[in-house]
Copies of this chain bind each other. A is one copy, B any other.
Amino acid sequence: MSGCPYFEKRHLLFKNKPPTAEGEEDASQAGVNKASKGGIIYGEYLQLDKIVSAQVLQSELKGNKIHDEHLFIVTHQAYELWFKQILWELDSVRHIFITGCVRDERNMLKVNNRIHRIVMIFKLLVDQFSVLETMTALDFFDFREYLAPASGFQSLQFRILENKIGVPDNLRVPYNRRHYRDSFKGHDSEMLLATEQEPTLLKLVEEWLERTPGLEVDGFNFWERFEINIFDGLNKEKEQIEAMEDSEDKEEMMLELIKQKELFTSLFDEKRHDHLLSKGERRLSYKALQGALMIYFYREEPRFQVPFQLLTSLMDIDTLMTKWRYNHVCMVHRMIGSKAGTGGSSGYHYLRSTVSDRYKVFVDLFNLATFLVPRHWVPKLNPNIHKFLYMAEYCDSSYCSSEDSD
């Protein structure tokens, strides 16, 4: 890897390593005396005294204990536990990108696994609604008055999560006509502001995509070749249609061809891209878009296999977050009809408006499907680039592979 600017740091780490290594040997020995009285036990390890004592029913405090409030609390706590885990994975992945460790392609497996883990957690969170749905509207009505003004909208971790993935401030649906951050105070509000200013997963992926090997103008120059191939292909099609006898079919085909041409013309129009960017309809830079499309088409090349999986997982996250929002909407509709939420929001209608492509951070990865072409239009790899795609880049240091660094 060109650069690898972590030499000194690494050096330092190496100096710190020995005791850890010792520690490891000690610990593996510690494994021997399992039966002994020392060491940590399950309940302490998990701090269960905190976890299973944190269910205080507001209804009970107010002298009218409602059985189902316990479920309501536990479900939300389970959500927050998993949000914490998602943030843990997200931060570690962002760290790998931010420190440049992503350039050592050995780290792609780790990045991919952790993003995939987020996917699996979101799947669970979508399924988790089935438990809360065992509570009926009437059961909820019995205690919902006690909850005001608490509201799921105030979940700090969820807002942080959105920010860190890359939901942009200006595309958020306003909440009761106010900025989303107004629902938070003091330290929480500052934390939110801070996360808005950190590099988002979207931004980091964008930078990484911009470096996709094969995009170099003085190298394989994918984008130019791709443009040439497409318009060649379209022109050949045009000729074939023109050679047909006049008919309704011919006319339709010609109209379709014109639409296709317009579509692809728009793809290669950087100004239009920037315009869509400014409106929030696209999110990735023009160059990153090119990198993503390149990975789509050449995904079977060894260097692109795991990156391709990564792009797929990023779409999975978007899809699952949107399904989570939609399941939430469905549950709220059943629970409170079209009434306002406990936080005083317009409830059902507010939530419904968030099930929108505005909240799909990686919307460009979906929309790229619009620009697929037959495989024989895809530029053939020349021997140089081909070989290149069989060789991963790496940084032969322990810095990036050490757990401490993320």
Contacts and interface: CB of A to CB of B under 8 A. Distances in A.
Counting from the closest, the 7 A-B pairs by CB-CB distance are A337-B370, A34-B344, A337-B369, A42-B154, A32-B256, A302-B392, A32-B253
A66 interface: yes
A62 B27 contact: yes
Given A43-B156, A237-B28, A33 B74 contact: no
29 contacts: A23-B62, A23-B63, A24-B376, A25-B240, A29-B253, A31-B144, A33-B148, A33-B252, A33-B253, A34-B148, A40-B150, A42-B151, A43-B188, A45-B147, A46-B77, A48-B157, A51-B54, A51-B77, A81-B81, A109-B305, A116-B134, A117-B131, A136-B312, A141-B372, A305-B306, A315-B334, A322-B330, A323-B330, A337-B371
B131 A34 contact: no
A35 B149 contact: yes
Interface residues of A, number: 153
Contacts of A301: 106
A217 interface: no
A252 B368 contact: no
Contacts of A150: 39-42, 44-45
Contacts of A110: 300
A142 to B, nearest CB: 7
A124 B117 contact: no
Nearest to A342: B34
A73 B48 CA distance: 11
Contacts of A299: 109, 138
A274 interface: no
Chain A at the B interface: mostly helix, strand, loop or mixed?
A: helix
Given A134-B120, A319-B330, A78 B80 contact: no
Given A35-B344, A303-B302, A319-B330, A297 B138 contact: yes
Contacts of A33: 148, 249, 252-253, 256
Nearest to A390: B392
A76 B134 CA distance: 23
Contact of A148 (B30, B108, B339, B366): B30
Contact of A257 (B32, B51, B142, B392): B32
Interface stretch (A6-14, A84-92, A166-174, A200-208): A84-92
Interface in A168-219: 188
A50 B73 CA distance: 13
A130 B123 contact: yes
A302 B103 CA distance: 12
A406 interface: yes
A404 interface: yes
Given A62-B27, A134-B117, A306-B306, A369 B240 contact: no
A253 B32 CA distance: 5
Interface in A46-85: 46-48, 50-56, 58, 62-67, 70-71, 73-74, 76-78, 80-82, 84-85
A327 interface: yes
Contacts of A224: none
